[in-house]
Amino acid sequence: MAVFRRNFAAGAAALLLLLTGCIEIEPDPEPAEGGSAETAVPPPTGSATPPGSPGSETPEDTDVAISSTREDSVYPQIGDPLVDALHYDLTLAWTPTTDTLRATEQLTFRATDTADRFQLDFDDVLTIDALTVDGAEATYERTDKDLVVQHPVEADGEYVVELTYSGTPEPYEAPTERSDFELGVGWHVTPEHEVWTIQEPYGAFTWFAANDQPADKALYDFTLTVPEPWTGIANGELTSDVAADGLRTTTWHLAEPAASYLVTVAFADYTATELTSARGVPITIWGPTDDPDAIGETEYAGEAMDWLEQYLGPYPFDTFGILIYDGTSGMETQTMVTLGATDYATSRNVVVHELAHHWYGDTVTPSDWSDVWMNEGMAMYLQGMWEAEDEGITIDDKMDQWASFEVQERAYAGPPADYDPTNFGAGNIYYGPALMWHELRQQIGDDAFFSMIRSWPADQENGNADREEYLAWIEATTGEELSAFFDAWLLGTTTPPRD
């Protein structure tokens, strides 16, 4: 997330441009000479249609995707604890000339209780052409983003919902005062008819029916079709890439469960740059074909992964990628980071930050949005460590820099773990928790601290946790009684004293 507030002094504002979550400011397009913004880049011709039913079988083993669902304490209107999504199979076809999405979705879910109906998040700007449950037509009701399906479910029973739908998805209003959220969350269409998606704390429901809450992680398969020479990009491993009859279809498989806010899809004309880390992890940078320089410093990804593995252990997924989109912010979308085409968004320190989220945020995800600090604080601290090393200063110096304005962030949006829900993603969830981790490091020593931050993602791989679970684990691991320490840093209205 780009952390930025216009009312800050210039020096602080520069420090506050720290990406790690969601959303964009789309730059004003520059029309081609003699043309409008809408016609500056001619879209490819042809109509994209879904290549039939969903592209893959439901994985045989979905146990890894079983979640302990809950009602979110910050945004209770999003998600349904009755639904535990296990696998999404999304077949999406984008026609740029008409800005039309045609889609088929197959959702396999586990019911957590017995009820006569269940609810999904799905924006009603999209038209449902058919909806079945276990192959039988089902009745449903829709209001705004609530899709209520009138079908009985039993506790621990598994069900398959299949939808076909179409339309032009629209972004949804974001719960924040941040200027870089002005375009909203979810699906975005550029003036050139390209597509990008970023959704935090929610917004996946703008383009597929989802249980759009972080406690519910699921497996994903994507089949994406678009007219050539464009490409559809998504999370996970690219398993096929076929061009025929003027259309290009790619399939993607995400082998580890992900929360819906960590999913991404994009359509545009991309060129791939292939890299590997020192351990051999395949890395792909997807940049705009017409602007090779837009990838900036993202080819540093392999070295960034090597640096992070010193402290966090092996990268927790099989592949890594970076997708460059026509915007300015960034998001740690799982295995396929989404970064805006700006010098800062594609800088090395941002690459380090977004990669760090794959340990803190992706493989281990907060169960509740009140605990987004668990993602941002550690990624921010690791970024600070990297920046201090890169700048030739001490980590103490870096923390002193951040402490100079952390008090303003806390006053502006509230304590990191009890923030203003109408101002999601402010700097309070980044800097205060980063300072907290440094204070804990000083208190328990480097050996205990680095053992702790390495062990947590390995111990909780592909899982979720809330603050209570996390802090109890830290106390058990370190042997320290830290309740007063954490309460002061995470719930206090003023910044605690620093050593």
At 185-223, the pLDDT tens digits run 999 999 999 999 999 999 999 999 999 999 999 999 999
The answer to whether 55 and 89 are in contact (CB under 8 A) is: yes
For the cut 70, the answer to whether the pLDDT of residue 39 exceeds it is: no
Backbone torsions φ then ψ of 453, nearest 5 degrees: -70, -20
Measuring CA to CA, which residue among 21, 426, 421 is closest to residue 199? Answer: 21
With a CB cutoff of 8 Å and minimum separation 6, the contacts of 34 are: none
Give pLDDT, residue 419. 97
Q: What percent of the chain has pLDDT over 90?
A: 85
Q: Is 130 in a helix, a strand, or coil?
A: strand
For the cut 50, the answer to whether the pLDDT of residue 179 exceeds it is: yes
- Taking the C-alpha atoms of residue 270 and residue 291, their distance in angstroms, rounded to an integer, is 10
E strands in 76-145: 83-95, 100-111, 118-121, 127-133, 136-137, 139-143
The answer to whether 239 and 222 are in contact (CB under 8 A) is: no
**Model confidence pTM above 0.85:** yes
- Taking the C-alpha atoms of residue 240 and residue 255, their distance in angstroms, rounded to an integer, is 15
For the cut 70, the answer to whether the pLDDT of residue 34 exceeds it is: no
- Taking the C-alpha atoms of residue 413 and residue 143, their distance in angstroms, rounded to an integer, is 31
- Taking the C-alpha atoms of residue 271 and residue 290, their distance in angstroms, rounded to an integer, is 9
Q: Is 184 left (phi over 0), alpha (psi -120 to 50) or beta?
A: left
Measuring CA to CA, which residue among 266, 310, 353, 305 is closest to residue 454? Answer: 310
The answer to whether 92 and 226 are in contact (CB under 8 A) is: no
For the segment 71-79, the average pLDDT, to the nearest whole number, is 98
pLDDT in tens, 398-422: 999 999 999 999 999 999 999 999 9
Two tokens, residue 251: 């399939």
- Taking the C-alpha atoms of residue 330 and residue 328, their distance in angstroms, rounded to an integer, is 7
Mean predicted lDDT score pLDDT of the chain: 91
Give pLDDT, residue 53. 52
pLDDT in tens, 99-114: 999 999 999 999 999 9
Give me the amino acid identity at 77: Q
Give pLDDT, residue 55. 52
With a CB cutoff of 8 Å and minimum separation 6, the contacts of 384 are: 395, 398, 399, 402, 434, 438
